[in-house]
Amino acid sequence: MPTAMASECAREQGKFWEMHDQIFQNQQMIQDPDLERYAKQIGVDVNRWKKCYADNKHKARIEEDQRVAMQLGARGTPAFFINGRFLSGAQPLPAFEALIDEEIKKAKESGLSRREYYEKAVVEKGKKAM
């Protein structure tokens, strides 16, 4: 939870992935002073970041994401949904490639445009588990 909040607070300032990458590369060093150091390194406004972090500002959003994953039964991480199709755990690359290739083919044959495909074919027609 602290790392997720640190990332969300960086995201406020447009630096989500920068914080994400720092934490991901230093998974043994994620105490508060470490997170603050990363905030400095990625170049966010540190005072604003610190206040956001201390206030647990984005806790509800993170909990909502966790709730959705739990409800779907995706209890372990990582869990992937490729155009809505579940792939569990850290699978080898070919497992991803196979699913992605199938989905690209399906999408191109759908007659829908790229812009509307996910919304129309996956979100609207998919199983509403949430």
Partner 1 sequence: MMMRSAHHRVPLAVAALGLAACVTRGDIEEIKQGLKEINTKLDRGARPQQPQQRPQGPDATAVYAFPVGDSPAKGPADAWVTVIESSDFQ
Binding site for partner 1 (CB under 8 A): 3-4, 7, 11, 16-17, 20, 23-24, 27, 30, 65, 69, 72-75, 77-86, 88, 100, 103-104, 107-108, 113-115, 117-118, 122-130
Report, in Å, the least distance between residue 50 CB and partner 1: 20
Please state, in angstroms and rounded to a whole number, the distance separating the CA atoms of residues 82 and 59.
26
47 vs 115, beta carbon nearer partner 1: 115
40 vs 85, beta carbon nearer partner 1: 85
User: Is residue 84 a contact partner of residue 126, using CB atoms and an 8 Å limit?
Assistant: yes
Give CA separation, 31 vs 20, 25, 71, in Å. Answer: 15, 14, 30
